[in-house]
Chains A and B, each alone.
Chain A
């Protein structure tokens, strides 16, 4: 027996188990990959399917309802009646149309018959005329010229045979020469044009009936009709589940060019409803509409602000550029929304949505449809953030002014050097060995001489610029140079230590100061204050009258008064409830009389205050104001105004005393302030100075010696681009990640270790980041004081900071318009700076502070300042320039309103710089889309007949113009509520005035000016009231006539009509300032 071979491993060893395991593993992998591909990694697929199904259900429901509604409407008697009218009109029009069509057809045939002969003859005669023309007119060619003329005339006389179709269908043979062909052809053209016009007339009743039906149906059944709904349903049902991608690319690339740089945005793959293809902009869908109110993830609604989508079309912008998030990611909601540690731009939370606007709208002071951002930008300035933190675009004038002064100084140095070099060069020239060298040296000296004159020219320009800039530089807080005149010294340390206890709504943040720091700062500020010249002593005033004026002048647009729930007024300026405890009466009188008055001017060039002695040295009177702003020492521009935005109300001294007397009664009489004996202690001066510099007080206050102090805080222009690791959470790092807030509560968002969390906490209380740190010296602590802002304001500022990013978008996406919108963009900076919006409505829907005050409710709203939404279209820009410079429109009688003398609330003088006035005028013009420059329309003078008609309208009881409009007569104007017509000529633009007197409510809804004074009849405005028979003959536009009459009204005419003596409202009035 043969020996068995050793065990064959193939036979004896089995890998079956291993293979089985491998098969299972493989199978598992395949299953997993299929799952991941179709379900796990592609959540958007299921979203799209869910959208299609739930939206289809919604559409079907809508469609059913719509069809039923349409049926009801279409069968209603009214609609049936319209339908009958249409049928009747059609019945009438049809035979007429047919006849006309037949005639037109015949004309076309006749034209076709004539055309070949006409064209042939015309070209032949044309060529013969040319042949005749090119033969010279000299005697030697006379016979040839004659023969050509004859040839041409013969051709013209030659007749063509035309087969002329007649109306009865027969064809007639016609013989026509050149002129006849021409006439026939033109006649045919005319006839056809007439017939076509006639056809339009015949069809008009049909079209009108159709329009009436469409209008009726549209009124009864707004929204999408059944056909449109059906179309949508078809689109949705045939929807192909696919990735939706938008590429945001720089210019030069197609919008959807995948190769471009920029951004890839796939958000709509889940948020399908954003595409107007599925949900048209006229439909705003919510979760409830789709029956998904209970669903946690149903990203199918349409965009809530369709206007924003119109400005930012989805195919150009996508979603993530505005909202943040990782537009590329598709594998999960978390990654797509960018809420994971490796993505720098997480999706903004709804309360911060406006942040997304900032990266492109950083040059705006006011962004439409971004109320949170606009509010934040006002806060950023108004709450003094800008005092410590640089932010590109915010209050650049201070820096510009410093640069200008520095440039002047360096130019002056250059000039002095040149002036020293010139004689040296001349001397060298005199001594030069040869004439050539001498000439070269003389030429150098001459060049320098000319250069000196060029420097003078440049310095002149810079002085002019700094004059303008000095008018523009404003500080948010009071001038501390004047503390000794204004304040009770005992109050200062109390204020520093108990800022918010004294005034809970103050803009001043609460600094963390130790008692010794408070003393040192108080002492420094006090000792650094101006010591003279002394204020004029003021007699007492009438506090009751002062209160009345305070309540009605418009003070409350900026200032508030009262505490807690009693508080009314604006927040841009101080609350005055306790001003009587701290302030000096004489100072307040001066301040109210004109807040821009300084005790001493400041010379930025010499870095010192210029006192009476400096003026006396140069034999100059101690006079300084906007018109007298040159430094007596060096001729450069002085700071002659207080850098406050508070305007001059042009009050008399008595009125100022009355208001000051009222304000001095505003105090808590039980308040007591300890004697601040240390305030004159010179030993505290140095420490106080160090602290004032340390805390950056000079960022908001003007302080002697620190006028040019730089901002001490971090620049915030691109704060939102900083990676989270660069924010110092100090000992709160772990707590932040765990979502435990500094107050120990749980953060509803789960974690606040992100920019939003940091900004929210830092703004709420910067102190928390010092928690637990070892900082024995108070000055080692974080500088930032606690800002006095509420939760909403914290959120607004946090949104602003979150949006302060280096844009990831191409530069062309930046909102930097070069057309009229540029003026709007620039203007808002000024409008928000001076709080124009505290009194005036400028943007439609924008609320003013005054509108919310109790004294302007209901009927009293008539006392509000004018709405300015159409100011640019209303007034002549030249006039507006003058008005903004001096709202009293007078040089002799300034204690009044120039236009609305009947309003108690007063337009004050802001002492705007020329540049600001220019920008404001352009701003208002641009808001109303007015052309620049303005060219007034010529007003045709009135004929005698027109004047009679205009007078009849003007004095008609149906248009009691002078009941409301002022006339300049004091007794009459007591009850006036509208401006004097005598101002209209130079103030108003005529097209606007026509619109105003016909349809005022479309310009300013809620205006006291009544609508319906005129009615539209036969394409003209006709007065809607009885007119004498003679006036009824007038066939022109009566609104237009009245405007021409009003804009050319003379004082005599007005006096005659109102039966009173004339009194011009303009300059030259004799009523002197009280």
Chain B
């Protein structure tokens, strides 16, 4: 009986060691591979690029929102002469949908893109995030400014990136940071003003756009190829489409979200 147990335990231990070792090995090879592939990435040939454009619409009626109650902070009440409404679903004439991130999800992995040197600004103005959604590339600098005469805290709650939470008094210097991993999209909140909600979309490539009230978007400078283009909306989720473009080709691709 005893001996049997010993045998089993030994076998289990051996198995663990083997698994441990092999895992380690696969990890190192994985790293080597990624290093190798990044070295082999192509640059985009600007003479053959095309584009994808289109309109994002909502199928159905947008929900009605109540005005935000900002009475918790008198400054915010004063700053908004007209009542402010949540930015969760914003539609234009003809049910065009604003605040949708449209981006190339797959298809551009083989290209390398320089990290843009200019920073993207997220402003806290009249106790709301302006814009509601910012998009930037991996490694690109985000600059958070506070235009209000009240203290905010900026608290991104990412799934893949690192979480942080910093306080920003009025007139304080901009808070800058970068995000290392693509993520669409990181919710941002202010714990002082709980109605404040915004998003930071971190992109792996420069092919992204955020729709305006007219719902229009355009992804420029796409090298020829087949892409999965995804539209992301904070409430309605994602819609994917596959688009193939040839050299110097411009395609149209519209997205429709179903109202729930």
Contacts and interface: CB of A to CB of B under 8 A. Distances in A.
B251 to A, nearest CB: 31
A430 B34 CA distance: 14
Contacts of B225: none
Q: Which 8 A-B pairs have the closest CB atoms?
A: A430-B180, A433-B34, A435-B160, A433-B30, A442-B162, A438-B181, A433-B31, A426-B162
A431 B180 CA distance: 7
Given A435-B160, A438-B160, A439-B160, A430 B181 contact: yes
A435 B181 contact: yes
Interface in A425-471: 426, 429-431, 433-435, 437-439, 442, 445
Interface residues of B, number: 10
Contacts of B160: 435, 438-439
Contacts of B31: 433
Contact of A429 (B27, B33, B34, B180): B180
Nearest to A437: B27
Interface of B: 27, 30-31, 33-34, 159-160, 162, 180-181
Interface residues of A, number: 12
Nearest to B33: A433
Nearest to B37: A433
A963 B250 CA distance: 113
Contacts of A439: 160
B162 A429 contact: yes
A442 B31 CA distance: 17
Contacts of B34: 433
A746 to B, nearest CB: 71
Given A430-B180, A433-B33, A442-B162, 13 more contacts: A426-B162, A429-B162, A429-B180, A431-B180, A433-B30, A433-B31, A435-B160, A437-B27, A438-B160, A438-B180, A438-B181, A439-B160, A445-B162
B198 to A, nearest CB: 22
Contacts of B162: 426, 429, 442, 445
21 contacts: A426-B162, A429-B162, A429-B180, A430-B180, A430-B181, A431-B180, A433-B30, A433-B31, A433-B33, A433-B34, A434-B30, A435-B159, A435-B160, A435-B181, A437-B27, A438-B160, A438-B180, A438-B181, A439-B160, A442-B162, A445-B162
B26 to A, nearest CB: 11
A70 B208 CA distance: 122
Contacts of A426: 162
Contacts of A431: 180
Interface of A: 426, 429-431, 433-435, 437-439, 442, 445
Nearest to B160: A435
Nearest to B30: A433
A447 to B, nearest CB: 13
Nearest to A433: B34
A431 B30 CA distance: 12
Contacts of B159: 435
A435 B30 CA distance: 13
A429 B27 CA distance: 14
Nearest to B158: A442
Nearest to B138: A430
A429 B31 CA distance: 12
Nearest to A442: B162
Contacts of A437: 27
A466 B27 CA distance: 47
Nearest to A435: B160
Nearest to B32: A433
Nearest to B180: A430
B27 to A, nearest CB: 8
A445 B164 CA distance: 13
Nearest to B179: A430
A435 B184 CA distance: 13
Contacts of B180: 429-431, 438
Contacts of B33: 433
A221 to B, nearest CB: 80
Contacts of A435: 159-160, 181
B103 to A, nearest CB: 18
Nearest to B162: A442
A703 B252 CA distance: 87
Contacts of A434: 30
Nearest to B139: A430
Nearest to A441: B162
Contacts of B181: 430, 435, 438
A666 to B, nearest CB: 66
A430 B160 CA distance: 10
Nearest to A431: B180
B235 to A, nearest CB: 24
A429 B33 CA distance: 17
A146 to B, nearest CB: 68
B81 to A, nearest CB: 43
A189 B135 CA distance: 97
Contacts of A445: 162
B140 to A, nearest CB: 13
A434 B30 CA distance: 10
B138 to A, nearest CB: 9
A430 B139 CA distance: 10
Query: Which of B33, B34, B180 has the most A CB atoms < 10 Å from its CB?
Result: B180
A426 to B, nearest CB: 6
A495 B137 CA distance: 81
A435 B159 CA distance: 9
A588 B181 CA distance: 71
A439 B27 CA distance: 15
A435 B182 CA distance: 10
B55 to A, nearest CB: 32
B174 to A, nearest CB: 21
B162 to A, nearest CB: 5
Contacts of A433: 30-31, 33-34
Query: Which of B33, B159, B181 has the most A CB atoms < 10 Å from its CB?
Result: B181
A1027 to B, nearest CB: 71
A253 to B, nearest CB: 36
B89 to A, nearest CB: 29
A445 B161 CA distance: 13
